[in-house]
Protein backbone atom coordinates (compact mmCIF):
# COMPACT_ATOMS: atom_id res chain seq x y z
CA UNK A 1 0.00 0.00 0.00
CA UNK A 2 1.20 3.52 -0.74
CA UNK A 3 0.50 7.13 0.15
CA UNK A 4 0.78 10.24 -2.00
CA UNK A 5 1.80 13.14 0.25
CA UNK A 6 2.32 16.73 -0.88
CA UNK A 7 3.81 19.72 0.90
CA UNK A 8 2.47 23.20 0.18
CA UNK A 9 3.08 26.68 1.52
CA UNK A 10 4.37 30.09 0.66
CA UNK A 11 8.01 30.97 0.22
CA UNK A 12 10.15 30.60 3.32
CA UNK A 13 7.83 28.26 5.23
CA UNK A 14 10.41 25.48 5.50
CA UNK A 15 8.38 22.92 3.56
CA UNK A 16 11.35 21.58 1.57
CA UNK A 17 13.27 20.85 4.77
CA UNK A 18 10.22 19.15 6.29
CA UNK A 19 9.61 17.10 3.14
CA UNK A 20 13.18 15.84 3.36
CA UNK A 21 12.84 15.14 7.10
CA UNK A 22 9.74 13.02 6.46
CA UNK A 23 11.52 11.20 3.65
CA UNK A 24 14.46 10.37 5.91
CA UNK A 25 12.16 9.16 8.67
CA UNK A 26 10.26 6.86 6.31
CA UNK A 27 13.52 5.45 5.01
CA UNK A 28 14.63 4.67 8.56
CA UNK A 29 11.30 2.91 9.07
CA UNK A 30 12.09 0.67 6.08
CA UNK A 31 9.18 2.10 4.09
CA UNK A 32 9.73 2.35 0.35
CA UNK A 33 9.50 6.06 -0.43
CA UNK A 34 10.28 8.53 -3.21
CA UNK A 35 10.95 12.24 -2.69
CA UNK A 36 10.43 14.65 -5.57
CA UNK A 37 9.53 18.29 -6.18
CA UNK A 38 7.80 20.75 -8.48
CA UNK A 39 8.62 22.21 -10.84
CA UNK A 40 11.27 19.67 -11.73
CA UNK A 41 11.86 16.06 -10.79
CA UNK A 42 12.54 15.06 -14.40
CA UNK A 43 15.05 16.40 -16.97
CA UNK A 44 12.26 18.29 -18.74
CA UNK A 45 10.89 19.59 -15.47
CA UNK A 46 14.30 20.78 -14.32
CA UNK A 47 14.69 22.80 -17.53
CA UNK A 48 11.25 24.34 -17.05
CA UNK A 49 12.09 25.13 -13.43
CA UNK A 50 15.15 27.10 -14.56
CA UNK A 51 13.12 29.14 -17.04
CA UNK A 52 10.31 29.84 -14.59
CA UNK A 53 12.45 30.90 -11.66
CA UNK A 54 15.70 32.31 -12.98
CA UNK A 55 15.38 33.55 -16.58
CA UNK A 56 14.97 37.27 -17.12
CA UNK A 57 12.03 38.45 -19.15
CA UNK A 58 8.28 38.73 -18.79
CA UNK A 59 6.24 35.51 -18.56
CA UNK A 60 2.48 35.95 -18.71
CA UNK A 61 0.39 34.31 -15.95
CA UNK A 62 -1.21 31.95 -18.47
CA UNK A 63 2.16 30.94 -19.94
CA UNK A 64 3.38 30.41 -16.38
CA UNK A 65 0.44 28.09 -15.72
CA UNK A 66 1.09 26.04 -18.85
CA UNK A 67 4.80 25.72 -18.09
CA UNK A 68 4.13 24.47 -14.58
CA UNK A 69 1.53 22.09 -15.97
CA UNK A 70 3.94 20.68 -18.55
CA UNK A 71 6.46 19.95 -15.81
CA UNK A 72 3.71 18.44 -13.64
CA UNK A 73 2.39 16.21 -16.40
CA UNK A 74 5.86 14.80 -17.07
CA UNK A 75 6.47 14.21 -13.37
CA UNK A 76 3.17 12.39 -12.88
CA UNK A 77 3.68 10.21 -15.95
CA UNK A 78 7.35 9.36 -15.46
CA UNK A 79 7.75 9.23 -11.68
CA UNK A 80 4.73 9.70 -9.42
CA UNK A 81 2.26 7.25 -10.98
CA UNK A 82 4.82 4.47 -11.61
CA UNK A 83 6.07 4.80 -8.03
CA UNK A 84 2.57 4.63 -6.53
CA UNK A 85 1.71 1.66 -8.74
CA UNK A 86 4.84 -0.07 -7.45
CA UNK A 87 3.57 0.35 -3.87
CA UNK A 88 5.90 3.20 -2.92
CA UNK A 89 4.94 6.21 -0.87
CA UNK A 90 5.55 9.44 -2.79
CA UNK A 91 6.39 12.79 -1.18
CA UNK A 92 6.17 15.79 -3.50
CA UNK A 93 7.36 19.28 -2.55
CA UNK A 94 4.57 21.28 -4.25
CA UNK A 95 1.94 19.93 -6.60
CA UNK A 96 -1.22 21.09 -8.38
CA UNK A 97 -2.45 23.20 -5.45
CA UNK A 98 0.53 25.49 -5.97
CA UNK A 99 -0.90 26.58 -9.32
CA UNK A 100 -4.23 27.43 -7.70
CA UNK A 101 -2.50 29.45 -4.98
CA UNK A 102 0.12 31.20 -7.11
CA UNK A 103 -1.38 31.55 -10.58
CA UNK A 104 -4.96 31.69 -9.32
CA UNK A 105 -5.08 33.66 -6.10
CA UNK A 106 -1.69 35.31 -6.65
CA UNK A 107 -1.83 36.17 -10.37
CA UNK A 108 -5.60 36.36 -10.71
CA UNK A 109 -6.22 33.66 -13.32
CA UNK A 110 -9.66 32.05 -13.46
CA UNK A 111 -9.74 29.25 -10.88
CA UNK A 112 -11.98 27.10 -13.06
CA UNK A 113 -9.42 27.27 -15.88
CA UNK A 114 -6.59 26.33 -13.53
CA UNK A 115 -8.51 23.39 -12.08
CA UNK A 116 -9.28 22.10 -15.58
CA UNK A 117 -5.63 22.39 -16.64
CA UNK A 118 -4.50 20.75 -13.40
CA UNK A 119 -6.90 17.87 -13.88
CA UNK A 120 -5.61 17.28 -17.40
CA UNK A 121 -1.95 17.49 -16.40
CA UNK A 122 -2.34 15.13 -13.44
CA UNK A 123 -4.91 12.81 -15.08
CA UNK A 124 -6.96 13.40 -11.95
CA UNK A 125 -4.33 12.14 -9.50
CA UNK A 126 -5.01 13.74 -6.10
CA UNK A 127 -2.83 13.51 -2.97
CA UNK A 128 -3.97 11.44 0.00
CA UNK A 129 -2.58 14.12 2.30
CA UNK A 130 -1.52 17.72 1.75
CA UNK A 131 0.53 19.37 4.48
CA UNK A 132 0.26 23.16 4.47
CA UNK A 133 3.09 24.87 6.33
CA UNK A 134 1.70 28.27 7.19
CA UNK A 135 3.38 31.44 8.39
CA UNK A 136 2.67 35.14 7.80
CA UNK A 137 3.81 36.18 4.32
CA UNK A 138 6.22 38.84 5.62
CA UNK A 139 7.83 36.32 7.95
CA UNK A 140 8.38 33.88 5.10
CA UNK A 141 9.95 36.48 2.83
CA UNK A 142 12.16 37.62 5.67
CA UNK A 143 13.70 34.17 5.76
CA UNK A 144 14.82 34.40 2.12
CA UNK A 145 18.13 35.96 1.13
CA UNK A 146 17.57 39.30 -0.59
CA UNK A 147 20.44 38.65 -3.00
CA UNK A 148 19.35 35.26 -4.33
CA UNK A 149 15.59 35.46 -4.69
CA UNK A 150 13.88 33.85 -7.68
CA UNK A 151 11.10 35.46 -9.77
CA UNK A 152 8.39 34.54 -7.28
CA UNK A 153 10.32 35.51 -4.17
CA UNK A 154 10.89 38.94 -5.72
CA UNK A 155 7.15 39.64 -5.91
CA UNK A 156 5.76 42.22 -3.49
CA UNK A 157 4.16 41.39 -0.16
CA UNK A 158 0.66 41.84 -1.56
CA UNK A 159 1.22 38.95 -3.99
CA UNK A 160 2.52 36.68 -1.24
CA UNK A 161 -0.38 37.57 1.03
CA UNK A 162 -2.82 36.59 -1.72
CA UNK A 163 -0.99 33.28 -2.11
CA UNK A 164 -1.24 32.62 1.62
CA UNK A 165 -4.93 33.51 1.67
CA UNK A 166 -5.47 31.16 -1.28
CA UNK A 167 -3.80 28.28 0.49
CA UNK A 168 -5.85 28.80 3.63
CA UNK A 169 -9.04 28.89 1.53
CA UNK A 170 -8.08 25.60 -0.16
CA UNK A 171 -7.38 23.99 3.20
CA UNK A 172 -10.65 25.23 4.69
CA UNK A 173 -12.57 23.85 1.71
CA UNK A 174 -10.89 20.43 1.90
CA UNK A 175 -10.24 19.49 5.53
CA UNK A 176 -10.37 15.78 4.72
CA UNK A 177 -7.15 16.11 2.71
CA UNK A 178 -5.37 19.13 4.18
CA UNK A 179 -3.50 19.55 7.46
CA UNK A 180 -2.54 23.13 8.31
CA UNK A 181 0.55 23.44 10.50
CA UNK A 182 1.83 26.57 12.20
CA UNK A 183 5.35 26.71 10.79
CA UNK A 184 6.42 29.36 13.30
CA UNK A 185 6.89 26.48 15.73
CA UNK A 186 10.39 25.04 15.98
CA UNK A 187 11.45 22.62 13.27
CA UNK A 188 11.41 19.57 15.53
CA UNK A 189 7.83 20.26 16.68
CA UNK A 190 6.63 20.68 13.11
CA UNK A 191 8.33 17.43 12.11
CA UNK A 192 6.63 15.56 14.97
CA UNK A 193 3.20 16.86 13.99
CA UNK A 194 3.80 15.71 10.42
CA UNK A 195 5.08 12.31 11.51
CA UNK A 196 2.11 11.79 13.84
CA UNK A 197 -0.33 12.34 10.97
CA UNK A 198 1.59 10.20 8.49
CA UNK A 199 2.13 7.39 11.00
CA UNK A 200 -1.62 7.29 11.67
CA UNK A 201 -2.40 7.06 7.97
CA UNK A 202 0.18 4.31 7.45
CA UNK A 203 -1.29 2.38 10.38
CA UNK A 204 -4.74 2.60 8.78
CA UNK A 205 -3.22 1.01 5.68
CA UNK A 206 -1.73 -1.75 7.77
CA UNK A 207 1.82 -0.41 7.50
CA UNK A 208 3.88 -0.05 10.66
CA UNK A 209 6.07 3.06 10.73
Q: What span, in angstroms and rounded, lies between the C-alpha atoms of 204 and 209?
A: 11
**Region 155-169: what's the mean pLDDT?**
95
- What predicted TM-score, i.e. pTM, was given to this entire model? 0.94
Give residue limits of the domains in the chain: 4-204
Q: Give the pLDDT of residue 172.
A: 98
Q: What span, in angstroms and rounded, lies between the C-alpha atoms of 38 and 100?
A: 14
Name the percent of the chain lying above pLDDT 90: 80
Highest average pLDDT, of 51-65, 129-143, 154-168, comes from 154-168
**Region 170-180: what's the mean pLDDT?**
97
What are all long-range contacts of 190-197, with beta carbons under 8 Å and residues at least 24 apart?
A: 190/14, 190/18, 190/133, 191/18, 191/21, 191/22, 191/25, 194/18, 194/21, 194/22, 194/131, 195/22, 195/25, 197/129, 197/131
> 183 with 9: CB under 8 angstroms?
yes
**Region 158-181: what's the mean pLDDT?**
97
Q: Per-residue pLDDT tens for 21-72? A: 999 999 999 999 999 999 999 999 999 998 888 776 788 999 999 999 999 9
In the predicted structure, residue 163 carries a pLDDT above the cut 90: yes
Task: Classify 4-204 by CATH class.
Answer: alpha beta
Residues 56-90, buried b or exposed e (16+ Cβ, 10 A)? Answer: eeeeeeeebbebbbebbbbbbeebbbebbeeebbb
pLDDT: is 98 or 53 the higher one? 98
Amino acid sequence: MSLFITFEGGDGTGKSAQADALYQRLLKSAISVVLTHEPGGTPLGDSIDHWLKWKDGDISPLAELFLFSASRSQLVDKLIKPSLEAGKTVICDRYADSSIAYQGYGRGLDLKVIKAVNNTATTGLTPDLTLLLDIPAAEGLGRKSAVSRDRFEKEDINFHQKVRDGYLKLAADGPERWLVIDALQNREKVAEIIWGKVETMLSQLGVRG
